Amino acid sequence: MPALMMAALRTMPNLIPNSDYIRILPEIVLSVFGMIIMVLDPVMDERRSQRTLGVIALLGALAALAATLYQAKEQFWGLGFWGMVRVDPFSIFFHVVVIAVTIVVILSSYEYMEVQKIRAGEYYGLILFGAVGMALMSSAVELVLIFIALEISSIATYVLAGFRRRAATSSEASVKYFLLGSFATAFFLYGVAMMFGATGSTSIATIGASLGLFNGSGGPLLAYLGVALMFVGLGFKVAAAPFHIWTPDVYEGAPSPVVGFMSTAPKAAVFAVLLRIMFQAHAPGRVWLMWVAAALSMSIGNIAALVQDNVKRLLAYSSIAHAGYVLVAFASLPANGIPAAMFYTASYAAMNVGAFAVIGHFAGRDERFVTLEDYSGLGRRSPLLASVLTIFLLSLIGIPITGGFFAKFYVFSAAMQGPHPLVGLTVIGVVNSAIAAYYYLRIIVFMYMREPRDDAPVPRVGPGLGIALTISLAATIYLGVAPKCVLDYITRAATFLH
């Protein structure tokens, strides 16, 4: 066990102050509701449990959101549990993103599970447990706790990826994700060990204090190794190149709402961790590591996406590219880069979770309709659904009036700041975002400019999905039109890291 924790245990007071519990209140709430679902699931009627448990999960997520907002009061800011978690606007922001995504996913799963005839209450329990890990990741400031949180969230998503039991691709997704994912987290742990060796601590603040002396260059070789190894693990989780190989297969096989979930919420949480490690801990070699990873992710993701015919695979590659855009912000100066990365994460979450909700609805029983051909004439068959998906896709391209536009603009403008602007990376980035327009447009072209292949009616959108889409659509547009409020908050939150 790390020295810090040992020391903390030795001087441990008998009582943990109550405010410490408030600092992990959202996680407690989520865990309690998750356990309620797990307990109720076996005793309930199998045919009806799905609905009830879904409602409980929704209530749980809403309660967690309320807890987060309660926690956001200034009096609760600060460290808790012997310096292992920290509540500040930064952690609150990521909590809100993760929990909001969770709510949207639960809402959109409700119908999806009925259509797929998956009767399994534990699905919702796993989503809540996953959210626990992700929420904890964003407030953890100690590497071992971060590792534990990472594992909590990962194990939930491994299982979720395999939930389409009748589909071989889903099982393949689950196994592949599990094997490679465990491998990657091992790298992360190894990196933590190196870091401990280099600085004698696993607390990010302490590491930052010792590495900060070197001002981002120089410093012990072990620290470089530690950062690199930790990035292998975290880069895997956010699907950054060259650790992205698993993404298309897993996204293709996993249930669509789950893909919407795991392409946004865990990514947001892991980006929060990366922000802490890269900026707060003054990781040496940050700029070049991030430069290369960003350039690779953007280029590989976008170029591979050009030739995809399966919409889920296409969005998987797009997700790799978007991780690249976020990493551009990581290579920038802290004052500009941190807010840019945070804003990008939030708007990507809004648009991508929405896009996958539409895809999941349209895919139908056993996810039969997932190729571009299947989207032919969707604009005629279901104008509303098609227009909603179009807005999400336009946001992914980065067209004005959507969050995606502003997010890209903000990231690239961050990269151009400071005495050494990253002109090369920015040019790679903007050219990439132009290339990306092509494959998103292909979907729009199929929806509006091709004749429908068959006139099978698209199923009606139920209330749950309707609310889910409204939330993500509203967030996407809001971030693109009036980002001022969010930006103000983010800018203030970022000051807690540097």
Applying CB under 8 A, the residues found at the interface with other proteins are 339, 379, 394, 399-401, 405, 409-410, 412-413, 415-418, 421, 423, 426-427, 430-431, 433-435, 437-438, 441, 444-445, 448-450, 483-484, 487-488, 491
How far apart are CB 484 and other proteins at their closest, in Å?
5
Q: Which lies closer to other proteins via its Cβ, residue 201 or residue 432?
A: 432
Count CB neighbours of 109 within 10 A. Answer: 32
Q: Which lies closer to other proteins via its Cβ, residue 195 or residue 340?
A: 340
- For 209, residues 6+ apart whose C-beta sits below 8 A from its C-beta are none
Phi-psi group of 364: left, alpha or beta (phi > 0 → left; psi -120 to 50 → alpha; rest → beta): left
How far apart are CB 339 and other proteins at their closest, in Å?
7
How far apart are CB 387 and other proteins at their closest, in Å?
9
Q: Which lies closer to other proteins via its Cβ, residue 224 or residue 409?
A: 409
CA distance 293 to 442: 27
Q: Which tokens hold the place of 320?
A: 């790799």
242 prior amide bond cis, ω within 30: yes
CA distance 211 to 276: 13
How far apart are CB 451 and other proteins at their closest, in Å?
12
Q: How wide is the angle at C-alpha 61 spanned by C-alphas 122 and 162, nearest 5°?
A: 30
How far apart are CB 343 and other proteins at their closest, in Å?
10
Nearest to 348 by CA among 100, 57, 30: 100
How far apart are CB 376 and other proteins at their closest, in Å?
12
CA distance 204 to 49: 43
Cβ–Cβ under 8 Å, residues 55 and 48: no
CA 9 to chain centre: 33
Query: φ, ψ for residue 87 (rounded to 5)?
Result: -100, 125
Q: Which lies closer to other proteins via its Cβ, residue 85 or residue 397?
A: 397
- For 227, residues 6+ apart whose C-beta sits below 8 A from its C-beta are 191, 195, 277, 278, 283, 284, 285, 286, 289
Q: Which lies closer to other proteins via its Cβ, residue 220 or residue 418?
A: 418
Coil, strand or helix: which one is 210?
helix
Q: Which lies closer to other proteins via its Cβ, residue 196 or residue 330?
A: 330
Cβ–Cβ under 8 Å, residues 316 and 255: no
CA dist 292 to 235, 255, 277, 302, 348, Å? 12, 32, 18, 15, 21
How far apart are CB 270 and other proteins at their closest, in Å?
25
Cβ–Cβ under 8 Å, residues 251 and 263: yes
Q: Which lies closer to other proteins via its Cβ, residue 147 or residue 405?
A: 405
How far apart are CB 379 and other proteins at their closest, in Å?
8
Q: Which lies closer to other proteins via its Cβ, residue 26 or residue 404?
A: 404
Q: Which lies closer to other proteins via its Cβ, residue 9 or residue 441?
A: 441
How far apart are CB 233 and other proteins at their closest, in Å?
32
